[in-house]
Amino acid sequence: MTVRTRFAPSPTGYLHVGGARTALFCYLYARKHGGQFVLRIEDTDLERSTAESVNAILEGMTWLGLDYDEGPFYQTQRFDRYNQIIDELLDKGLAYRCDCPKERLEKLRVDQMARKQKPRYDGCCRHKQVDPSQPHVIRFKNPADGVVIVDDLIRGRMPFANEELDDLIIRRSDGTPTYNLSVVVDDADMEITHVIRGDDHINNTPRQINILRALGFEPPRYAHVPMILGDDGARLSKRHGAVSVISYRDMGYLPEALLNYLVRLGWSHGDQEIFSIEQMIELFDISDVNKAASSFNTSKLDWLNQQYLQQAEPARVARLLSPHMGRIDIDPSTGPDLVDVVKAQAARAKTLVELAEISAFCYRDFEEFDEGSAKKHLRLVAREPLEKLRAGFELMAFEDWTPEQLKHVVEGVAEELQLNLGKVAQPLRVAIVGRAASPGIEETLMLVGKEATLRRIDKALGYIAARGGEA
């Protein structure tokens, strides 16, 4: 048997992190077993489905690198097939027309809830001959007794009594098929062997199994993945912050870091934290996924992303960093090579957005000194070292502006004034960067260049002069 999994989002919004994790699990399972991964767009909700949402889903999948083997298939393009199946069910007496008015159904629901019963359709139209020309829906005639066993790959054996399952609607009064019917037909036609999806679908599964068996199809294996929670224990949603995959791209996360984080939400392999996609494929097993819900922890994602920023090829990080520089109005071509900036700064940032922000000094002058850094390091005692450093730098030719020569000047000033190197380098760092944190001082000077270095030292000397006699 060839393993075939599918990811089947509804295009009613962006690709959220819960959906991305489900897609990842489907992808890994298929890749591990030499199978196929199918993308299906479940767009039967005509009122809420949008082309914009479809594009957002496809964009998210592409960014994550979750390449699918078949698709995307669109359910709205398969209505004829669904209606063919519905007509077959009607002909075989496995479905029936129902013309119960909304008022009756609402009263039935209220009465059942008042009796503390589970709301379900009572089969009123099961044996009626409803006029096909009058408004009606089509319902599947669910077995009245017996038990449906779902042998879940994560949760184990789950029995569902058929008497608890009502006759669900499979075609609406407007003639469109419903979710549960179209999913069943698609899974059968596309020969899906394993359905990996969120646990919010658990109650749909026994109903779908009954429809599959009524049609003579063998149901796939099911695995229901627990939900993702926010840090407050509630289901992850917009109020917890960004949940869109593309939002994480825009916030400066690398796709491999987000995938690594998502695979660890509910799955583990010993104490290992960092997994390449190849390792995920080799080690992942759906049966090892936890039954309990997982909590999204942004701090952990930040840590992972920082590891990936440090380990990735600088040229690739530079390519991904470039648009983030553009968003803060910096043209990377106007200063040092962005690859050199990445080499110097990547270990200092958690995201590409942060990397862009802390690297802005390489391309443009800052407006203000960090107050704490300036108060500590740009004092009157720093004036003479800065003046001597400026004089030394000004004498350097362009071709001499190298780490070795810059280090020689800085150490020379420290030696001449009999100062600890830090008493010279830290005021210089604050003068050049605007704050007390940067790469090594020679590296920092190299990135900034001679002209900007002299200009910023002048600014620092002006700041010290403005403070007057403060020691």
At residue 325, the pLDDT reads 98
Residue 72 within a domain: no
**pLDDT tens digit string along 258-304?**
999 999 999 999 999 999 999 999 999 999 999 999 999 999 999 99
The answer to whether residues 391 and 317 belong to one domain is: no
Calculate the average pLDDT of the chain.
Answer: 95
At residue 312, the pLDDT reads 96
Residues present in the chain in total: 471
Residue 26 marked in a binding site: no
Tell whether the model's pLDDT for residue 330 goes beyond 80: yes
Residue 466 within a domain: yes
Amino acid at residue number 111 = D
Residue 92 marked in a binding site: no
How far, in Å, are 68, 75, 139, 249, 336 from residue 219 at the CA level?
A: 22, 20, 20, 37, 60
CATH number of the domain that 419 lies in? 1.10.10.350
The answer to whether residues 349 and 418 belong to one domain is: no
Calpha distance 258→250 (Å, rounded):
12
The answer to whether residues 434 and 466 belong to one domain is: yes
Q: Determine the 3-state secondary structure of 9 from DSSP.
A: coil
At residue 103, the pLDDT reads 95
The answer to whether residues 394 and 461 belong to one domain is: yes
Domain end, chosen from 326, 345, 364, is at 364
**pLDDT tens digit string along 343-400?**
999 999 999 999 999 999 999 999 999 999 999 999 999 999 999 999 999 999 988 9
Residue 176 within a domain: no
| Structural domain span for residue 336 | 312-364
**pLDDT tens digit string along 121-174?**
999 999 999 999 999 999 999 999 999 999 999 999 999 999 999 999 999 999
Reply yes or no on whether 343 is catalytic.
no
Q: Which of 92, 107, 128, 238 is catalytic?
A: 238
Calpha distance 23→169 (Å, rounded):
28
List, as one string, the DSSP characters of 344-358. HHGGG-SSHHHHHHH
Residue 101 within a domain: no
Residue 332 within a domain: yes
Residue 238 marked in a binding site: yes
At residue 239, the pLDDT reads 64
The answer to whether residues 354 and 378 belong to one domain is: no
At residue 233, the pLDDT reads 78
Query: How many domains would you assign to the chain?
Result: 2
Tokens encoding 200 = 């919010």
The answer to whether residues 394 and 464 belong to one domain is: yes
Amino acid at residue number 298 = T
Quick one: average pLDDT of 47-67?
Answer: 94
How far, in Å, are 64, 72, 252, 289 from residue 53 at the CA level?
A: 17, 13, 22, 29
What DSSP state is assigned to residue 165? S
Calpha distance 5→39 (Å, rounded):
9
The answer to whether residues 347 and 380 belong to one domain is: no
Residue 362 marked in a binding site: no
At residue 398, the pLDDT reads 85
Residue 125 marked in a binding site: yes
